[in-house]
């Protein structure tokens, strides 16, 4: 028998009982001829003791044990003396006096300690993934993921969803990223595509009358790696028939509230906050804003146009924007060099040609551009930005996208730098009404922002051919603390409208049919 108990589950109720445990040697200490070992399995750690007076044979074997040796042991659970209690671990009130031990496997010295706080590089950790996954932090992540998927499945089952698997080897479809291609042996010169999402399959399921579908789906996208982007990933994929967007969003809120309560023990208030895409870009410079802190973007274009600062006036005349953020009470923390070099370096990768700034003082403002604003304009800026003495105002003047991207990045940078973000908060947010289409300079045509089957906002339907770029979509993202958790949309269910959509996208009839044909 390998074991009849788990290391991390032993308590004082086991005192006096004989147990057999299996696991890995976490640490070993030799004190006064008695060997103490922290034995670890998936459930946690327990201290086991080898005393030559209890078993000389077991002690002799234990004397040769090293870190990460794998063993089974048998012994009696005993209560620790009060002064020996270890409150840092769940099993700290007991230990196991060992009289039998079997060495299952030796181990070379690990390349890094099997503990949470390590300095090993990501490459080393990935190269020794089986060791990395032994660390409590990684194991806990897997447990949380398992609990999340279990909670999701329970919720969706209670709401009459059917779990349906869809094919992995499929046909390339018009979606956002490049496909991974798999050559066919049976059909030389032909290729399968790995699915970026089960997009068409779930629409076929709706046409089949399934009505409520879900899948914990594996997806593949050939795109550049980022911290939150991987070439293959898992998503909770869902589709519903005869359902309005607001009802669907309410159900998603219920699901996420359930997950947060059952997995993290946290109560999340409802309803979730909502912003349109336009509002999100206007206030935060991002379509996935972190709303755990303020410092929103402030439009000063009209005021700047009345100044004598040539750059501001030219931007306004060309249809650009002048916006600012107010870093409250931190003016004294930043020297001119820090603003001109360190903070400017944050915005320059986004196309900003400069970063103007003003420090608010009693009776006015000070800084390189202060002389371009008379007393009346200064008062208007102070009022618009809700500025007070000690505040630092940071300006970017440029095209709308450059202003949004650069100030949005600067806002996040300052939020982290100044400790403004409440790391314990979970701010869920709906971002709605994304643009339906965007113009691709590379392809010289409009392309779908989400996918070609997204329903336009009804009041924008009359502009789909005359002004496609202004049409809003019935699409939405779920955002948490600055990260996009997922996205969805209402599908086009009108044949004529779908034909019109394909036409705007520049699809020939043949391409339109092939894009969704199997």
Hey, what's the torsion of the CAs at 273, 276, 279, 280, to 10 degrees?
A: 70
What mean pLDDT value characterizes the chain? 94
CA distance 272 to 431: 10
Instruction: Dump pLDDT digits (tens) for 208-251.
Output: 999 999 999 999 999 887 777 789 999 999 999 999 999 999 99
- Average pLDDT estimate for 19-28: 97
CA distance 142 to 402: 39
Helix 400-417 and helix 277-284: axis angle, to 10°? 60
Work out the pLDDT band at 444, boundaries 50, 70, 90.
Answer: confident
pLDDT score, position 174: 60
Residues near 233 by Cβ (< 8 Å), separated by ≥ 6?
Answer: 218, 219, 221
CA 46 to chain centre: 34
Instruction: Dump pLDDT digits (tens) for 241-260.
Output: 999 999 999 999 999 999 99
Taken in order of first residue, the domains within the chain and their CATH numbers are 7-105 (2.40.50.140), 139-242 (3.30.930.10), 293-417 (3.30.1360.30), 428-515 (no CATH)
Work out the pLDDT band at 396, boundaries 50, 70, 90.
Answer: very high
pLDDT score, position 227: 72
CA distance 319 to 313: 10
Query: Which residues sit in the known binding site for L-aspartate?
Result: 175, 221, 450, 491
- Average pLDDT estimate for 30-43: 95
Per the CB < 8 A criterion, the answer to whether 250 and 274 are in contact is no
pLDDT score, position 32: 86
Work out the pLDDT band at 149, boundaries 50, 70, 90.
Answer: very high
Lowest pLDDT segment from 136-150, 213-227, 269-283, 342-356: 213-227
CA 207 to chain centre: 32
Query: Which residues sit in the known binding site for ATP?
Result: 221-223, 230, 484
Work out the pLDDT band at 509, boundaries 50, 70, 90.
Answer: confident
Query: Which residues sit in the known binding site?
Result: 175, 221-223, 230, 450, 484, 491
pLDDT score, position 175: 56
| Exposure b/e, 159-172, CB count within 10 A at least 16 = b | eebeebebeeebbb
Report whether pLDDT(518) > 80: no
Note the maximum CA span of the chain. Answer: 92
Enumerate the β-bridge partners of residue 299: 323
Report whether pLDDT(410) > 90: yes
CA distance 370 to 36: 70
């Amino acid at each position: 028998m390998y074991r009849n108990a788990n290391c991390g589950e032993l308590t004082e109720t086991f005192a006096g009982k004989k147990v057999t445990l299996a696991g890995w040697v976490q640490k070993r200490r030799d004190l006064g001829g008695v060997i103490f070992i922290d034995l670890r399995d998936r459930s946690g750690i327990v201290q086991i003791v080898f005393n030559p007076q209890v078993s000389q044979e077991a002690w002799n074997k234990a004397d040769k044990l090293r870190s990460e040796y794998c063993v089974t042991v048998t012994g009696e659970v005993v209560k620790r003396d009060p002064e020996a209690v270890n409150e840092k671990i769940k099993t700290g009130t007991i230990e196991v006096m060992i009289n039998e031990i079997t060495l299952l496997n030796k181990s070379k010295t690990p390349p890094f300690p099997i503990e949470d706080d390590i300095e090993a590089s990501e490459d080393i950790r990935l190269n020794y993934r089986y060791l990395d996954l032994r660390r409590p932090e990684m194991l806990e992540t897997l447990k949380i993921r398992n609990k999340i998927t279990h909670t999701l499945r329970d919720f969706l089952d209670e709401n009459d969803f059917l779990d349906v698997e869809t094919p992995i080897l499929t046909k390339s479809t018009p979606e956002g990223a490049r496909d991974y291609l798999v050559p066919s042996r049976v059909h030389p010169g032909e290729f399968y595509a790995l699915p970026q999402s089960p997009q068409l399959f779930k629409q076929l399921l709706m046409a089949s009358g399934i009505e409520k579908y879900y899948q914990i789906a594996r997806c593949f996208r050939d795109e550049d790696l980022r911290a939150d982007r991987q070439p293959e990933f898992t998503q909770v994929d869902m589709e519903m028939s005869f359902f309005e967007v607001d009802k669907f969003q309410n159900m998603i809120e219920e699901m996420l509230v359930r997950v947060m309560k059952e997995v993290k023990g946290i109560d999340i208030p409802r309803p979730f906050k909502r912003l349109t895409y336009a509002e999100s870009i206007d206030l935060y410079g991002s379509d996935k804003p972190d709303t755990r802190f303020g410092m929103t973007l402030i439009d000063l274009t009209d005021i700047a146009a009345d100044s004598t600062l040539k750059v501001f006036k030219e931007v306004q005349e060309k249809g650009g924007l002048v916006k600012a953020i107010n870093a409250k009470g931190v003016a004294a923390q930043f020297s001119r060099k820090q603003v001109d070099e360190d903070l400017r370096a944050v915005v320059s990768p986004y196309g900003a040609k400069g970063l103007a700034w003003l420090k608010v003082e009693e009776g006015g403002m000070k800084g390189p551009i202060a002389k371009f604003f008379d007393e009346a304009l200064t008062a208007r800026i102070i009022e618009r930005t809700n500025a007070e003495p000690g505040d630092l105002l940071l300006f970017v003047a440029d095209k709308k996208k450059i202003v949004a991207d650069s100030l949005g990045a600067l806002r996040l940078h300052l939020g982290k730098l100044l400790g403004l973000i409440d790391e314990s908060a979970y701010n869920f947010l709906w971002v709605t009404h994304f643009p339906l289409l965007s113009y691709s300079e590379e392809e010289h045509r409009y392309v779908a922002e989400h996918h070609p089957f997204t329903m336009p906002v009804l009041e924008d339907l009359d502009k789909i051919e005359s002004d496609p770029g202004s049409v809003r979509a019935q699409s939405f993202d779920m955002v948490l603390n600055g990260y996009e958790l997922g996205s969805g949309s209402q599908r086009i269910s009108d044949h004529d409208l779908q034909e019109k959509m394909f036409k705007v996208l520049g699809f020939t009839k043949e391409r339109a049919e092939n894009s969704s044909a199997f």
